[in-house]
């Protein structure tokens, strides 16, 4: 084992996804109920929003410092389940949200919460200061994002579970 450490605040914190890059840096995501969860200056969002927020944290290869740490969330519950990074260090995250005000970016694929619970897909830049894209994905019921991968062109592929009869699909 190269290192072992704790990550969290004063409330309950749940790590759901981890990715290790070629330099040995660890990227961790999940949900936090901690308003004191550690964040870093310059991160995209250092303000705990409410209830369960998503966290995205990068720890250096020695496990000795936070490279960055941020929240993503709206006024209701959300939870991230998986994270992956590209060769440029951009982080891609998926999970699900109950929030109608979950952060979306301009030209998002879908900018409204369609059911009670929707999948979200986000991309943060390499230093976690900019949300490059963030979108909902879902239908008229409950949808959950559990895993994400990216291809060499930067396209994101997600898998999960749907209870929606109208989840967007394409013909293959």
pLDDT tens digits, 120-132? 999 999 999 999 9
Q: Flag whether 166 is in a domain.
A: no
| Any domain includes 59 | yes
* 114 Cβ neighbours under 8 A, 6+ residues apart: 136, 138, 139, 140, 143, 164
Kindly state the percentage of the chain with pLDDT values over 90. Answer: 88
Full DSSP string of 4-18: ------SS-EEEEEE
Q: How would you classify residue 105: left for phi > 0, otherwise alpha for psi between -120 and 50, otherwise beta?
A: beta
Domain that holds residue 52: 13-160
Segment 11-61, tens digit of pLDDT? 999 999 999 999 999 999 999 999 999 999 999 988 887 778 999 999 999
Whether 55 maps to a domain, the answer reads: yes
- pLDDT band at residue 79, thresholds of 50, 70 and 90? very high
Distances (CA, A) of 16 to 12, 133, 134, 142: 13, 21, 19, 19
- Look at residue 8 and tell me if it is in a domain: no
Q: How many domains does the chain have?
A: 1
Give me the CATH number covering residue 121.
2.130.10.10
**Structural domain contains residue 3:** no
Does the residue 107 lie in any domain? Answer: yes
Separation in Å, CA 71 to CA 27, 54, 102, 153: 14, 6, 11, 27
The alpha helices in 48-105, defined as continuous H runs, are none
Task: Assess if residue 126 is contained within a domain.
Answer: yes
Task: Please report whether residue 20 resides in a domain.
Answer: yes
């Amino acid at each position: 084992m190269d290192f072992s450490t704790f990550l969290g605040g004063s409330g309950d914190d749940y790590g759901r996804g981890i990715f290790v890059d070629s330099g040995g840096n660890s990227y961790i995501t999940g949900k936090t109920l901690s308003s004191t969860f550690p964040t870093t200056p310059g991160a995209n969002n250092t303000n705990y929003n409410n209830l369960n927020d998503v966290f995205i944290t990068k720890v250096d290869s020695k496990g000795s410092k936070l490279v960055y740490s941020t929240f993503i969330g709206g006024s209701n519950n959300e939870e991230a389940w998986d994270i992956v990074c590209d060769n440029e260090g951009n982080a891609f995250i998926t999970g699900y949200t109950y929030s109608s005000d979950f952060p979306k970016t301009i030209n998002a694929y879908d900018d409204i919460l369609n059911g009670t619970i929707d999948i979200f897909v986000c991309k943060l830049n390499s230093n976690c200061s900019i949300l490059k894209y963030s979108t909902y994905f879902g239908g008229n019921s409950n949808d959950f994002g559990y895993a994400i991968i990216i291809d060499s062109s930067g396209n994101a592929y997600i898998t999960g579970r749907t209870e929606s009869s109208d989840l967007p699909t394409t013909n293959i």
